[in-house]
Amino acid sequence: MIGHLERPAGSRPSLREIWKDFGLTYAANGFVGWLFAITAPVAIILSVGSRGGLSEAEIASWVFGVFFVNGLISIFFCWFYRQPLVFFWTIPGAVLVGPSLAHLSFAEVVGAFYLTGALMFVLSITGWVRRAMAAVPMPIVMGMVAGVFLRFGLDLVRALHEDLAVAGPMVVTWIVLSVVPSLGRRMPPLIGALLVGAGAALVDSRFDAGTFAALDFIAPIIQAPAWSLAAAIELVVPLAITVLVVQNGQGIAVLRAAGHAPPVNAITAACGLGSLVAAAVGGVSSCLTGPTNAIVSSSGARERHYTAGLFVGVLALAFGLLAPTFTRFLLDAPAAFVATLAGLALLKILQAAFTTCFKDRFTLGALVAFLVTVADLPLFNIGAAFWGLVAGLAMSWLLERSDFAAARKDA
């Protein structure tokens, strides 16, 4: 069964070759890709963990898991396949966990993380992953994703209303850097928003400037899982879908557009194994990242892109080891700072989700999936995201059968 995993097309680079292929362009791309990953995506983990009642130590352990484990995987895959294959964690999956923590214990959620990792590994070694990715229509998946993400967009609006002094400059900075491409290339909009927001909070004496005076290293918390049928039903399939269809699908498309040939089965196997290891310290499922891979493959010679991915992996290891320091920094920040940063990070993703939902096919199923997910009413102690997928698929099967036929014809 392992034969389904792809083998590298060429030889693995030596340290001398890596150093020769590395350069300022690839260092800059790798640094910006890493900087993107440690800003708004981490703010999303902080938001979800805080709302779910996790302690500062548990959140820091989660951050450590998703950075350190995926940093190791990224380094190995970039070297082994000589491609920019950067792994982090599923942002939609992290958001998905938020509502679940309202009625499930964190141990039950961790148990679902383990089961998701095992499922993805089985799909990879059996070669079924491509069929699994095609089984659920993307518009219905994105209807569920849009329903989960909507709260972050609303929190962005509320932050502007409740704390204009912090949220206002962040939004204005993001807009200016997005409107003027020449500025945005020098300073990515999200990173600019983070810096301006931090400055506004410091001026207003709402940040503790001594947070980084002493760097604290991680002492991971080993999370014992609890096996719950309700948690498995609610989370495993939606989490696997966010990894395989939403995140990996995006990352694979980005890399193919840049001229690379990402190994789909091997990537899925890595996501499964990475998810199992990260779950031990409370980390959500691993995935092939779309935005960071887009950044590291955005410029320079294609055959040297892998060095930018290696650099991201090394930086991720360092960030994971220092997770307590950065976690404390964000937890001490004004609530509007984290809400605005997370909202801006998900704004275009939310826009893309709606575009996919209502573009052409499965639009009614996507709408039903969105509405059921937004309603956030659990049934049989199983959260709304799962029922959103079920309801959307059922509605499309009953009323949009021609769309299934057209999709099979296109495939």
pLDDT tens readout for residues 391-410: 999 999 999 989 888 877 77
Residue 10 domain-assigned (yes or no): no
Q: Is 390 helix (H, G, I), strand (E, B) or coil?
A: helix
Q: Strand pairing partners for 110?
A: none
Q: What is the mean pLDDT of residues 202-227?
A: 79
Long-range contacts of 291-295 (CB under 8 A, 24+ apart): 291/33, 291/36, 291/37, 292/33, 292/34, 292/36, 292/37, 292/86, 292/88, 293/33, 293/84, 293/85, 293/86, 293/251, 293/254, 293/255, 294/254, 294/258, 295/29, 295/32, 295/33, 295/36
- Classify residue 5: in a domain, yes or no: no
For residue 411, what pLDDT is reported?
60
d(CA 233, CA 380): 10
SS3 percent helix, strand, coil of the chain, rounded to 5, is 75, 0, 25
For all residues of the chain together, what is the average pLDDT?
87
Give SS3 for 304: helix
Radius of gyration (C-alpha) of the chain in whole angstroms: 21
Q: Assess whether pLDDT exceeds 80 at residue 263.
A: yes
**d(Cα 110, Cα 98) in Å, to the nearest integer?**
13
For residue 346, name the pLDDT band (cuts at 50, 70, 90).
Answer: confident
Distance CA 21, CA 407 (A): 42
pLDDT of residue 81: 96
- The pLDDT value recorded for residue 135 is 72
Residues 169 and 85: their CA atoms lie apart, in Å, by 35
Structural domain contains residue 8: no
| Tokens encoding 159 | 């932050």
Beta carbons within 8 Å of 209's beta carbon, 6+ residues apart = 202
Q: What pLDDT sits at residue 114?
A: 97
Whether 407 is in a domain gets the answer no
Tell me which residue range forms the domain holding 268: 15-346
Residue 230: φ, ψ to 5°: -60, -45
Residue reference for tokens 């826009």: 351
Least confident span in 41-55, 90-104, 329-343:
329-343
Q: Which of 97-111, 202-216, 358-372 has the lowest mean pLDDT?
A: 202-216
Give the integer Cα–Cα distance in Å for 332 and 205: 12
Distance of CA 108 to the CA centre of its chain: 21
Domain count within the chain: 1
Mean pLDDT of 198-211: 74
What local confidence, expressed as pLDDT, does residue 95 receive?
A: 84
- Of 108 and 340, the one with more pLDDT: 108
**C-alpha–C-alpha distance, residues 13 and 255, integer Å:** 20
Task: For residues 243-250, give the mean pLDDT.
Answer: 82
366 compared with 43, residue with greater pLDDT: 366
- Judged against a pLDDT cut of 60, whether residue 1 lies above it is answered with no
Confidence class of residue 212 from pLDDT cuts 50, 70 and 90? low
Domain presence at residue 364? no
Q: What is the pLDDT of residue 209?
A: 59
Write down the pLDDT at residue 210.
Answer: 62
**Range name among 104-118, 243-257, 394-408 with the lowest pLDDT average:** 243-257
The more confidently predicted of residues 321 and 325 is: 321
What pairs with residue 89 in β-bridges? 286
**Mean pLDDT calculated for residue range 34-57:** 85
CB 306 within 8 A of CB 84: yes
DSSP line for 316-345: HHHHHHTHHHHHHHHHTS-HHHHHHHHHHH
Structural domain includes residue 387: no
| 351 domain-assigned | no
Closest CA to 147 of 357, 398, 406, 395: 357
Q: What is the pLDDT of residue 60?
A: 93
> What span, in angstroms and rounded, lies between the C-alpha atoms of 353 and 350?
5
| Contacts of 329 by beta carbon, 8 Å cutoff, 6+ apart | 211, 212
Q: What is the pLDDT of residues 176-187, one digit of tens each?
A: 998 988 888 778
pLDDT tier for residue 55 given thresholds of 50, 70 and 90: very high
pLDDT of residue 3: 58
